[in-house]
C-alpha cells in the first residue's frame, strides 16, 4: 500500500500548543489521505469491500479516507 496524496484541510496545535519535554508541541492534522492498493497482495486481503472500489489502473485501486 502506498500513499499517493495527502491533502490537509486544517492544522492546529494539540492541547493548546502544550510542549512535551524536548519533543515540543504536537499538531492535529485534518484532511484526506489517498492510497494505491494492490488487491492481490496478501496483506490487503482484510480490507473490507476492496473488490467494490473503483479500479483506476490495471492492478491498483485508489482509496480515500478522511482523517480526524
User: Each residue of 3-40: pLDDT tens digit?
Assistant: 888 888 999 999 999 999 998 999 999 998 877 777 77
- Report domain extents, the chain: 2-67
61-67/2-13 β-pairing? unpaired
| DSSP collapsed to 3 states, the chain | CEEEEEEEEEEEEHHHHCECHHHCECEEEEEEEEEEECCCCHHHCCCCCHHHCCECCCCCEEEEEEEC
Statement: the pTM of the whole predicted model exceeds 0.85: no
Which residues does 45 contact at the CB level (< 8 Å), separation at least 6? none
pLDDT on residue 42: 87
Residue 56: the pLDDT is 60
Q: Is the pLDDT of residue 65 over 80?
A: no
Among residues 13, 6, 8, the alpha carbon closest in space to that of 28 is found at: 13
Amino acid at each position: 500500500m502506498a500513499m499517493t496524496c495527502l491533502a490537509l484541510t486544517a492544522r492546529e496545535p494539540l492541547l493548546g500548543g502544550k510542549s512535551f519535554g524536548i519533543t515540543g508541541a504536537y499538531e492535529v492534522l485534518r484532511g484526506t489521505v489517498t492510497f494505491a492498493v494492490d488487491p492481490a497482495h496478501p496483506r490487503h486481503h482484510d480490507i473490507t469491500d476492496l473488490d467494490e472500489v473503483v479500479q483506476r489502473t490495471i492492478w491498483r485501486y485508489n482509496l480515500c479516507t478522511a482523517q480526524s
